[in-house]
């Protein structure tokens, strides 16, 4: 079961939801990077459970220990190992799914593929694993910030409640001002109420996270199989509960004619080649073109709901799975930092790969 991502900036995550700890080993981070622990902790705090009544009520401080790779506040070029201890497991809430499969969760496929599974809290299939990604992504963000790259994600849709403005018309600085992480306060309030009503009904609801990356120069991305958008797509689709990815004009672009869709080039006052529109989403031929990179990631309504559901047990016999445990009624508020972290991990790898791509 591989849990490694990256070519030059490589991460390997480990741990289960109800095991003693989760964590990550980062291999290939250059030496000399100031290791800003406050920044990394803040990123973990944005993802951690129990942030408001519309997230799971599991209580984890998600504080991390640095086991290796950092000396006198700077990275050493050696493997960086970060560990986050689990402190608030309630494994008895999962006893009933030891022998039953939750519809649309990973229980059936893990059991059938491996012959056994750690069912406590979903084990390795739990999104608790993404805390390790966020920790590694924070280190990647520190490296990218030195290159002037900024990554900002936000919630643009919950159920059928949509933010009908493009990122260029939003004040993204307001994203962290509310529990939903939607930059429009009025829409955020409606989304909050909707998620809360869904939670009270014992149900779950999906949503969309948009992400904008600025400051990426021309040239990041490999032209054939590891196209920048292909890697972003893989990274986003590797996040738990993700069902869709699109970048630039995405699926809506099919309704346009080429004459409407093409991004016209011009040269600005500083002599830089720019495009007047950005339907390409900042990527052409798999390589960044210097414009903002933007993409959208769709999350399903999570599988574990507080209702009885028809299913089968490990012997193939009919079973009723009852809703127990502490769960997210809608994951998108907590998914915002995860999307940013995965984008950072893709981009930092492409930054380093680009450095060795030319003589």
Ligand X SMILES: Cc1cc2nc3c(=O)[nH]c(=O)nc-3n(C[C@H](O)[C@H](O)[C@H](O)COP(=O)(O)O)c2cc1C
Task: State how far the Cα of 266 lies from the Cα of 250, in Å rounded to an integer.
Answer: 23
Task: State how far the Cα of 283 lies from the Cα of 348, in Å rounded to an integer.
Answer: 16
Q: How far is CA 276 from the centre of its chain?
A: 30
Among 12, 175, 304, 311, binds ligand X (CB under 6 A): 304
Nearest distance from residue 305's CB to ligand X, in Å?
A: 8
Q: Does 127 bind ligand X (CB under 6 A)?
A: yes
Angle between the N-to-C axes of helices 130-145 and 332-355, in degrees from 0 to 180, rounded to the nearest 10: 50
Residues sharing a CB contact under 8 Å with residue 320, sequence separation 6 or more, in sequence order:
308, 309, 310, 311
Contact in structure between 101 and 56 (CB atoms under 8 Å): no
Nearer to ligand X, 136 or 149 (CB): 136
Nearest distance from residue 338's CB to ligand X, in Å?
A: 6
Phi-psi region of 311 (alpha: psi -120 to 50; beta: other; left: phi over 0): beta
Task: State how far the Cα of 196 lies from the Cα of 53, in Å rounded to an integer.
Answer: 8
Q: Does 241 bind ligand X (CB under 6 A)?
A: yes
Nearest distance from residue 171's CB to ligand X, in Å?
A: 25
Q: Does 278 bind ligand X (CB under 6 A)?
A: no
Task: State how far the Cα of 9 lies from the Cα of 47, in Å rounded to an integer.
Answer: 22
Q: Is 297 assigned to a binding site?
A: no
Binding mask 183-222 for ligand X (x = CB under 6 A): ----------------------------------------
Among 328, 343, 344, 351, binds ligand X (CB under 6 A): 328
Nearer to ligand X, 9 or 101 (CB): 101
Q: Does 331 bind ligand X (CB under 6 A)?
A: yes
User: Could you give the 3-state DSSP secondary structure of residue 30?
Assistant: coil
Q: Is 302 assigned to a binding site?
A: yes
Q: Does 139 bind ligand X (CB under 6 A)?
A: no
Contact in structure between 248 and 283 (CB atoms under 8 Å): yes
Residue in 238, 237, 241, 219 with CA at minimum distance from that of residue 228: 219
Q: Is 3 assigned to a binding site?
A: no
The region of 59-67, 119-127, 215-223, 349-357 touching ligand X under the rule CB under 6 A is 119-127
H-run or E-run covering 338: helix 332-355
Task: State how far the Cα of 33 lies from the Cα of 274, in Å rounded to an integer.
Answer: 31
DSSP state of 182: -
Q: Does 303 bind ligand X (CB under 6 A)?
A: yes
Contact in structure between 238 and 5 (CB atoms under 8 Å): yes
Among 182, 211, 302, 319, binds ligand X (CB under 6 A): 302
Q: Does 48 bind ligand X (CB under 6 A)?
A: no
Contact in structure between 136 and 24 (CB atoms under 8 Å): yes
Q: Does 46 bind ligand X (CB under 6 A)?
A: no
Nearest distance from residue 239's CB to ligand X, in Å?
A: 5
Residue 150: how many other CB atoms lie within 10 Å: 15
Binding mask 84-113 for ligand X (x = CB under 6 A): ---------------------xx-------
Q: Is 34 assigned to a binding site?
A: no
The region of 8-16, 87-95, 155-163, 234-242 touching ligand X under the rule CB under 6 A is 234-242
Nearer to ligand X, 287 or 332 (CB): 332
Nearer to ligand X, 9 or 94 (CB): 94
- Judged by the rule CB under 6 A, the positions of this chain that interact with ligand X are 56, 105-106, 125-127, 130, 239-241, 302-304, 327-328, 331, 334-335, 338
Annotated binding site for NADP(+): 47, 53
């Amino acid at each position: 079961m591989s849990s490694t991502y990256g070519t030059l900036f490589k991460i390997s995550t480990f741990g289960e939801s109800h095991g003693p700890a989760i964590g990550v080993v980062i291999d290939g981070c250059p030496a000399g990077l100031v290791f800003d622990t406050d920044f990394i902790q803040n990123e973990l705090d944005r993802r951690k459970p129990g942030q408001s009544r519309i997230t799971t009520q599991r209580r984890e401080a998600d504080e991390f220990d640095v086991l290796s790779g950092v000396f006198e506040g700077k990275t050493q070029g050696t493997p960086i190992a970060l560990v986050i201890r689990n402190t608030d497991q309630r494994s008895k809430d999962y006893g009933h799914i030891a022998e039953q499969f939750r519809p649309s969760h990973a229980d059936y496929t893990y059991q059938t593929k491996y012959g056994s599974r750690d069912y406590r809290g979903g084990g390795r299939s739990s999104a608790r694993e993404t805390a390790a990604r966020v920790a590694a992504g924070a280190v990647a963000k520190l490296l990218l910030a030195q290159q002037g790259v900024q990554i900002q994600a936000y919630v643009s849709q919950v159920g059928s409640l949509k933010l009908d403005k493009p990122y260029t018309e939003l004040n993204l600085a307001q994203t962290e001002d509310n529990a939903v992480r939607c930059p429009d306060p009025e829409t955020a309030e409606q989304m909050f109420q909707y998620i809360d009503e869904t939670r009270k009904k014992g149900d779950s609801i999906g949503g969309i996270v948009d992400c904008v990356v600025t400051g990426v120069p021309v040239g990041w991305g490999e032209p054939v199989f590891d196209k920048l958008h292909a890697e972003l797509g893989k990274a986003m689709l590797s996040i738990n509960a993700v069902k869709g990815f699109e970048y630039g004009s995405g699926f809506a672009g099919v309704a346009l004619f080429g004459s409407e869709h093409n991004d016209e080039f011009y040269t600005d006052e500083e002599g830089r080649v720019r495009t007047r529109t950005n339907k390409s989403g900042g990527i052409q031929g798999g390589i960044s073109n210097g414009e903002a990179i933007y993409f959208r990631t769709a999350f399903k309504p999570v599988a574990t709901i507080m209702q009885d559901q028809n299913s089968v047990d490990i012997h193939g016999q009919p079973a009723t799975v009852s809703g127990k445990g502490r769960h997210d009624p809608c994951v998108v508020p907590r998914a915002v930092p995860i999307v940013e972290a995965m984008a950072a991990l893709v981009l930092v790898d492409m930054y380093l790969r680009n450095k060795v791509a030319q003589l």
